[in-house]
Amino acid sequence: MTALNPAAGKPIDPAALANVPRLVTAYFAGKPDAGDPAQRVAFGTSGHRGSSLKNSFNEDHILATTQAICDYRREAGLTGPLFIGIDTHALAEPALASAVEVFAANGVEIMIDGEGGYTPTPVISHAILSYNKGRSSGLADGVVITPSHNPPEDGGYKYNPPHGGPADTDVTGVVEKNANRYIEAGLKGVARMPYDRARKAATTHLHDYITPYVADLGNTVDLALIKSAGVRIGIDPLGGAAVHYWQPIIARYGINATVVNAAVDPTFRFMTADWDGKIRMDCSSPYAMASLIGMRDRFDVAFANDTDADRHGIVTRSNGLMNPNHFLATAIAYLFAHRPQWSGSAAIGKTIVSSSIIDRVAKKLGRKLVETPVGFKWFVEGLGSGGFGFAGEESAGASFLKRDGTAWTTDKDGLILGLLAAEIIAKTGRDPSELFKELTDELGVPYYERIDVAATPKQKNALKALGPDQLNMATLAGDAVSAVRTKAPGNDQPFGGIKVESASGWFAARPSGTEDVYKIYAESFRGPDHLKQIQSDAKAAIAKAF
């Protein structure tokens, strides 16, 4: 495992803060080398991410990618408005300006925040779904300018088509290819107009994102119950895009909530360092969340969101920061017991590397479980149709239906998951950690960990191609192997790795897309020693296969 940095969980050294003027200058002055793979547009399901200081997120990337999205919209016959939002990273404002210049020159109707503020990813998803409801033509789509919880030096740019969720590879592949073609051609073919003209264009509209999202929130989480129960809530937006949403929510619904940090600062100097000493707005990290964890005794429950507010971190008075898998299982158990209007056939969606405690909860509830590859895109259709009551992934991202069983968002929503933790207390009188303890008393205690193992690019490719025959495992930590998978059982799609299961544990191995490591996710229902044996067996079997 990677060693913990001595600065982890401590206030940031001012000398380590991002130089924002230098970062923004590099955005406009730097030019990517189209021949360098690290400087090309790489538009995965989380969009294109990079840093201007590494020439991987510069103006050329945004101009080219925006033009490629305009081209895609024309090909797909999309003529409705495009909802566009930004988070609080330093590169978000410059990237918005570049995008507006291209969208306006292409005659795309765009909706930008009327107050010049920030817009969480789930709010863009909600806006797209609300606009498209009942329509079969003139459909809306959206763009979110965010690198999620990444360090302050990073920028990100992602596209959500009319279904409101993350774009699938059939879309992102086309956008990526065409964006790189524009960069190679020195931006020839990219339509653009001066920013001042673009802002004044007839197709550029100021939009109120806060009011409709906040007004609909009570249809998804029982905020009246939270108010009447007087649940004391602490909220830390971690300086992210949700920062200006909480006071309107508190005012509208009268809940007893305190925003413990309302600061917006592109250096994120108020954070504590993550495990490696870097600044990361990762609400599932105990090191990044040290400040809020320290306040746990002030509130019945506290929570934080990452910078685009699509992830959640739940801090309980009884047990501190919850493991993301533990809260997912608790949320599922609670929701399916307290949403009588949901369809009896509404399923539970989880990723293949999420905890098997979710499988056991689903079995207890008598609900269908759909296990997919990693990536929220696999849940979009089910959340949109009401086929999934809840869908979540191990990295603290989830969404669920409105109380009447209709779609809320098709992207992750950290705001509703935080508020759900308060609803759980209001309804049951126990916090989510206490409810999870009750679940595990009945269903078993999971011991789960993800570790990174060094691997060469050649070995990473070999891992992708690894099958049951090459791995040749009959037992796992003393138990008979019950299944070896390279495809997710929920939709029969390959997940880019291998998973080995037994009656009391499992591991999954996947190559990292960005580092020379592969990731082992492992879980035991017997204890920490058994977990270590599973990890050891996994490393040995993969090394032998290499």
**pLDDT average, residue stretch 377-403:** 97
CA distance 502 to 481: 5
Grouping H, G, I as helix, E, B as strand and the rest as coil, residue 258 is strand
pLDDT of 213 above 90: yes
Catalytic residue among 148, 355, 395, 399: 148
Grouping H, G, I as helix, E, B as strand and the rest as coil, residue 452 is strand
pLDDT of 1 above 70: no
pLDDT of 129 above 80: yes
Residues 59/28, Cβ–Cβ less than 8 Å: yes
Sequence-ordered list of residues with C-beta below 8 angstroms from that of 114, at least 6 positions apart, any chain? 206, 207, 208, 209
- Local confidence band at 171 (pLDDT 50, 70, 90 cut-offs): very high
Residues 336/358, Cβ–Cβ less than 8 Å: no
Residue pointed to by tokens 């999870």: 436
What is the bridge-based pairing of β-strands 369-372 and 483-487? unpaired
Give DSSP secondary structure letters for 461-520: HHHHT--HHHH--SEETTEE--EEEEE-TTT--EEEEEEEE-SSEEEEEEE-SSSSEEEE
Query: The domain at 17-212 falls in which architecture?
Result: 3-Layer(aba) Sandwich (3.40)
What's the CA angle centered on 357, arms 364 and 503, to 5 degrees? 95
Give the tens place of pLDDT for each residue, 11-46.
999 999 999 999 999 999 999 999 999 999 998 667
Exposed, middle or buried: residue 428 (CB in 10 Å: 0-12, 13-18, 19+)?
Answer: middle
CATH 3.30.310.50 domain locations along the chain: 447-545
- Local confidence band at 454 (pLDDT 50, 70, 90 cut-offs): confident
CA distances 76 to 145, 176, 380, 432, Å, are 22, 16, 19, 44
The whole-number pLDDT of residue 514 equals 66
Does the pTM surpass 0.85? The reply is yes
Give the tens place of pLDDT for each residue, 528-539.
999 999 999 999
Residues 165/144, Cβ–Cβ less than 8 Å: no
pLDDT of 515 above 80: no
N- to C-terminal Cα separation, the chain: 20
Q: Which candidate, 126, 132, 48, 145, places its Cα nearest to that of 414? A: 126
The whole-number pLDDT of residue 45 equals 65
- Local confidence band at 377 (pLDDT 50, 70, 90 cut-offs): very high
What is the bridge-based pairing of β-strands 48-51 and 154-160? antiparallel
The whole-number pLDDT of residue 516 equals 81
In eight-state DSSP terms, residue 409 is -
CA distance 392 to 375: 10
The whole-number pLDDT of residue 453 equals 87
CATH 3.40.120.10 domain locations along the chain: 17-212
pLDDT of 130 above 60: yes
Token pair of 242 as six digits: 């949700």
- Local confidence band at 546 (pLDDT 50, 70, 90 cut-offs): confident
**pLDDT average, residue stretch 81-101:** 98
Active-site residue 148, yes or no?
Answer: yes
CATH fold, domain 447-545, is TATA-Binding Protein (3.30.310)
Average pLDDT, the chain: 96
Exposed, middle or buried: residue 206 (CB in 10 Å: 0-12, 13-18, 19+)?
Answer: exposed
Percentage of the chain lying above the pLDDT 90 cut? 92
Evaluated on CA atoms 162, 163, 166, 168, the torsion sign reads negative
Give the tens place of pLDDT for each residue, 286-327.
999 999 999 999 999 999 999 999 999 999 999 999 999 999
**pLDDT average, residue stretch 502-525:** 91
The whole-number pLDDT of residue 247 equals 98
